[in-house]
Amino acid sequence: MYKSRYLNEVLENVKAKNEGQKEFISAVEEFFDSMDFLVEKDPNIEKNAILERLVVPEKVITFRVPWVDDAGKIRVNTGYRVQFNSAIGPYKGGMRFDKSVNLSILKFLGFEQTFKNSLTGLPMGGGKGGADFDPRGKSDAEVMRFCQSFMAEFYRHIGPNTDVPAGDLGFGAREIGYMFGYYKKLRNEFTGVFTGKGISYGGSLGRPEATGYGLLYFVAEMLKTFKNDDIKGKKVIISGSGKVGGMAAQKANEMGANLVAMSDIDGYVYDPNGLDVPYICEKAKQKGMFSKDYAKDHKGVEWHEGPHGMWSVPCDIALPCATQGEIHEDDAKLLKKNGCYMLVEGANMPCDVEAIRYFNNNGVLFAPGKASNAGGVAVSGLEMTQNAIHLPWTFEEVDERLKQIMKDIFKKCYETAVKFGQPTNIALGANIAGFLKVYDAMLAEGVC
Ligand code: 2IT
């Protein structure tokens, strides 16, 4: 229950209209926790039905994706794009290829993306898409045929000033290349309609590193502001050995952190003396997985089955970088009990709403992905700029801009949290600061 009658009414309606969509409802609830500090102070939000409009995607596109596998068998998947909000710029956000993909997950991600993109300060609206297609174990030819069939419908709905997709889980450089190539053919034009592209055809240096590096730049700001400290020697744990986790491990190591535990899909490894980070980064890059090999190749380090047990490991700072819904209230309690005083999200909503409430009420500094993992989409925005001016920037130039953007995002969140009398509540700061820009644009643009 919220203090505000308006919020309770809108949430009830969201629940009734989105029955069974638990990820989406949970994202709205988390956002409304923060809105409860704002809506009664500003009656224009209700008067203009801003929240009722914000919780409904502007457009949802669903389509059939038929394709032929290597054995000649015809297969069918479902393709999606949720074009959530375009008040401040063209729809922008990643594509996810995974068996678990459904409308609830994509709506939750698109909703989050709207505020994340707003926080970057760049002109990007929110969107998310993908398919219930698992590229793992598929040949390159199968993935290409799938991507081309997907694009045969998708090309109608995207464009550099309409909707600019990018990667997410299961959707990397290979998928982006095939999609971009087919878009170019169908449209007969070479435009920056995807970000995360290869360098040879318009990609940005620093994009693969951006989410993980940006996360650590954000952690540095948190430590400086709240603890007058830095990450040197701090015990850090990271979940997920994908693009985000791998790059986060690399940057944490470079900044002098002591990475004591890390997980992949199979399990996790823990070494209180610190893990061999170059080994992990190399293995993760080659195979996506590292933990079983790590335990074989490093004497005295045990492999633990299943990634979830890692939240019981003593640490100072936890960086969940795998996927949504990894950390529940019980895990949050265990983390706190074992000394964790800061949790910064690298994935999108790895903590559920109860875990977030627990952190905020129990003195564990918490930062939500929509602020702390915004480095990826921020550098996507920089890729769009480079495409528009037809000029590539150096890695150093991009990295410097990324650092500044992450500092600015933290500052916006922190100053907003302070303004609302909750100086350590970065989730509140992120939600309100991200919201205010979108709200302002929606008011200016009228009812549309
Ligand atoms: O969750 C995210 O911010 C992304 N998957 C990146 C989106 C993008 O457009 O680069």
End position of a domain, from candidates 372, 387, 422: 372
| pLDDT above 90: residue 380 | yes
**Catalytic, out of 107, 128, 235, 251:** 128
197 C-alpha vs ligand 1 centroid, how far in Å? 13
- Residue 347 falls inside a structural domain: yes
Domain match, 250 and 171 both: no
Give the position, in ligand 1's atom list, of the atom nearest the Cα of 207: 10
Q: Is the CB of 380 under 6 A from ligand 1?
A: yes
Give the position, in ligand 1's atom list, of the atom nearest the Cα of 116: 3
Q: Is the CB of 376 under 6 A from ligand 1?
A: yes
Mean pLDDT of 79-99: 98
- Provide the residue type at 198 as one letter: G
- Residue 276 falls inside a structural domain: yes
Give 423-448 pLDDT, tens digit per residue: 999 999 999 999 999 999 999 999 99
Q: Is the CB of 166 under 6 A from ligand 1?
A: yes
End position of a domain, from candidates 352, 372, 392: 372
125 C-alpha vs ligand 1 centroid, how far in Å? 12
Domain match, 97 and 163 both: yes
Going by pLDDT thresholds of 50, 70 and 90, the confidence category of residue 231 is very high
Give 9-37 pLDDT, tens digit per residue: 999 999 999 999 999 999 999 999 999 99
CB proximity list for 245: less than 8 A, separation 6 or greater: 212, 238, 239, 262, 284, 319, 321, 322, 346
85 C-alpha vs ligand 1 centroid, how far in Å? 15
444 C-alpha vs ligand 1 centroid, how far in Å? 27
Q: Is the CB of 168 under 6 A from ligand 1?
A: yes
Domain match, 78 and 224 both: no
- Residue 428 falls inside a structural domain: no
Going by pLDDT thresholds of 50, 70 and 90, the confidence category of residue 285 is confident
How far apart CA 402 and CA 386 sit, in angstroms, is 14
Domain match, 81 and 160 both: yes
- Residue 296 falls inside a structural domain: yes
Going by pLDDT thresholds of 50, 70 and 90, the confidence category of residue 61 is very high
Asked if 135 contacts 173 with a C-beta cutoff of 8 angstroms, the reply is no
Mean pLDDT of 40-68: 98
How far apart CA 225 and CA 230 sit, in angstroms, is 10
The CATH number given to whatever domain includes residue 252 is 3.40.50.720
Give the position, in ligand 1's atom list, of the atom nearest the Cα of 92: 9
Give 319-373 pLDDT, tens digit per residue: 999 999 999 999 999 999 999 999 999 999 999 999 999 999 999 999 999 999 9
Mutate to test the pocket of ligand 1, among 324, 380, 384 (most ligand atoms within 8 A of CB): 380
Domain match, 184 and 227 both: no
Give the position, in ligand 1's atom list, of the atom nearest the Cα of 373: 3
Q: Is the CB of 210 under 6 A from ligand 1?
A: no
Domain match, 159 and 259 both: no
Going by pLDDT thresholds of 50, 70 and 90, the confidence category of residue 288 is confident
Mutate to test the pocket of ligand 1, among 92, 168, 247 (most ligand atoms within 8 A of CB): 168
| Residue of minimum CA distance from atom 3 in ligand 1 | 377
Mutate to test the pocket of ligand 1, among 213, 323, 377 (most ligand atoms within 8 A of CB): 377
Domain match, 47 and 141 both: no
Which pLDDT score is estimated for 287?
82
Domain match, 105 and 225 both: no
| pLDDT above 90: residue 60 | yes
Mean pLDDT, all residues of the chain = 97
Q: Is the CB of 350 under 6 A from ligand 1?
A: no
Domain match, 65 and 39 both: no
Domain that holds residue 16: 5-54
End position of a domain, from candidates 347, 372, 397: 372
Domain match, 49 and 64 both: no
Q: How many angstroms from the chain centroid is the CA of residue 41? A: 30
- Residue 301 falls inside a structural domain: yes
Q: Is the CB of 412 under 6 A from ligand 1?
A: no
- Residue 363 falls inside a structural domain: yes
169 C-alpha vs ligand 1 centroid, how far in Å? 10
Instruction: Provide the token pair at 404.
Output: 């500044």
Give 245-261 pLDDT, tens digit per residue: 999 999 999 999 999 99
- Residue 28 falls inside a structural domain: yes
Q: Is the CB of 170 under 6 A from ligand 1?
A: no
Give the position, in ligand 1's atom list, of the atom nearest the Cα of 379: 10
How far apart CA 93 and CA 268 sit, in angstroms, is 30
Asked if 57 contacts 14 with a C-beta cutoff of 8 angstroms, the reply is no
| pLDDT above 90: residue 286 | no
88 C-alpha vs ligand 1 centroid, how far in Å? 16
CB proximity list for 393: less than 8 A, separation 6 or greater: 204, 205, 382, 386, 401
In the chain, what percentage of residues exceed pLDDT 90? 98
149 C-alpha vs ligand 1 centroid, how far in Å? 23
- Residue 198 falls inside a structural domain: no
Which of these, 409, 341, 413, lies nearest to 379 by C-alpha position? 409
| 234 flagged as catalytic | no
pTM for this entry: 0.97
Domain match, 263 and 320 both: yes
5 C-alpha vs ligand 1 centroid, how far in Å? 34
Q: Is the CB of 208 under 6 A from ligand 1?
A: no
CB proximity list for 181: less than 8 A, separation 6 or greater: none
| Residue of minimum CA distance from atom 9 in ligand 1 | 93
Domain match, 251 and 272 both: yes
117 C-alpha vs ligand 1 centroid, how far in Å? 9
The CATH number given to whatever domain includes residue 86 is 3.40.50.10860
| pLDDT above 90: residue 59 | yes
Query: How many domains is the chain partitioned into structurally?
Result: 3
Going by pLDDT thresholds of 50, 70 and 90, the confidence category of residue 220 is very high
Give 159-180 pLDDT, tens digit per residue: 999 999 999 999 999 999 999 9
